Structure 1
Amino acid sequence: MNRFTLTLAAAASALTLGSAAFAGPQYLDETGYAVSGYDVVAYFGLEQAPVGQSQPAGIPGKSSITAEYNGATFAFATEENRAAFVADPAKYAPQYDGHCAYGVAKGGKVPGNPNLWRIVDGKLFLNINTAVVGFWEEDIPGNLELSEGNWVSLDAKPASENTIPKFSSAAPQG
């Protein structure tokens, strides 16, 4: 293979593997905030539970500390977290525009619950309910491969308008 062919193959591979970076419509629940107003930077400072165990709850953001990204308002618990997000929003924003990672693996857009999260390879993923978390965690690499393949055709579709089941969200305060 010549250098041009290798470069073209690498670029095509990056587009396929990095497809979650292409922003579609962000999932917003009735709060009007991305990730139900939870601080997406804070997840990266929480101790992640082993696969098969519940994660710690997310940290709610404050309505007085926000930033815009991907057509949505993100809320933060601290000014430091806001500054980190503004410096590199793609690093902290949830994959699949806040939709359930397992739902995307199965070919659809359903809401992501901010308390059902996992960081994999430095990226934040959400799921819709605890049963789905179990299915997703049975084969995270395989499900991510499916999600990446599906996301290319799903990202331009409208965001889910469904409510997160068994989740009571309240708009950030203060």
Structure 2
Amino acid sequence: MLTRRSLILSAACLPFTRAVRAATPEVFATHGIAIHGTDPVAYFRQSARVDGDAGFALVWRGAEWRFSSAENRLAFEMDPSAYAPQYGGYCAYAMAQGAMAPTVPEAWTVHEGKLYLNFSTGVRELWRQDIPGHVAAADDHWPRVIGG
């Protein structure tokens, strides 16, 4: 139930919410490493989650990206937007709801040549129920959510 007290508390928290959003990194990274060290190119080339190697790493958009081979690293270097997950690697389903959530590398989908990650494999099942609809909603929310 919405009360005067909850409205006052919500208004008091608003500046902090904006500050957090403004400080939100463009790429979801755990300890500075994107996709928990998983090779993003492998999702496309091997249709599988493959661990990257720190020996084949590069920094892009403030995060370290790891690859399983020099060939995959070069492919990413030549066209990072072709291989990087949508919405900075944040949960695609959450973004469709106008929110941000972390992801796990096991909960992935390649759809129409783009990589989408989800919070969990259970959430991925919700995502897969209407990928085109969720993509449209997430595409609409992404600039506002990341931009604050």
Q: What TM-score comes out, normalization by structure 1 length?
A: 0.68
- CA distance in 2 between partners of 1:42 and 1:138 (Å): 24
Q: Relative contact order (alpha carbons < 8 A, sep ≥ 6): 1 or 2 greater?
A: 1
Structure 2's unaligned 5+ residue stretches are 1-24
Matched, 1:108 2:99: yes
After superposition, what is the alpha-carbon deviation per residue over 1:73-131, rounded to whole angstroms, capped at 9, x for unaligned?
10000000000000001111110001010010011110121111111111100001122
Shift of 1:68: 1.3
Aligned residue number for residue 35 of structure 1: 35
- Paired residues for 1:121-136 under 5 Å: 121-136=112-127
Corresponding position of 1:67: 58
What is the root-mean-square deviation of aligned Cα atoms in Å? Answer: 1.2
Q: Which residue of 1 aligns with 2:20?
A: none
1:25 equivalent in structure 2: 26
* 2:102 counterpart SS class: coil
Specify the alignment match of 1:82 in structure 2.
73
Sequence identity (%): 37
Greater strand content: 2
Partner of 1:109, secondary structure, is coil
SS at match of 2:135: helix
Letter in 1 for 2:127: W
Task: Name the CA distance, whole Å, in 2 between partners of 1:62 and 1:91.
Answer: 20
Counterpart Cα distance in 2 of 1:40 and 1:83:
12
Matched positions, count: 124
Q: Summarize deviations over 1:24-49 as a string: whole Å, max 9, x none.
A: 6211114x3111100000110234xx
Distance (whole Å) between structure 2 residues aligned to residue 62 and residue 104 of structure 1: 29
1:155 partner SS: helix
Aligned residue for 1:18? none
**Distance in 1 between the 2:120 and 2:106 partners?**
9
Distance 2:140 2:122 in 1: 23
- Flag structure 1 segments of 5+ consecutive residues without an equivalent: 1-23, 48-55, 158-174
List structure 1 runs of 4+ shifted beyond 4 angstroms.
none
1:118 is matched with 109
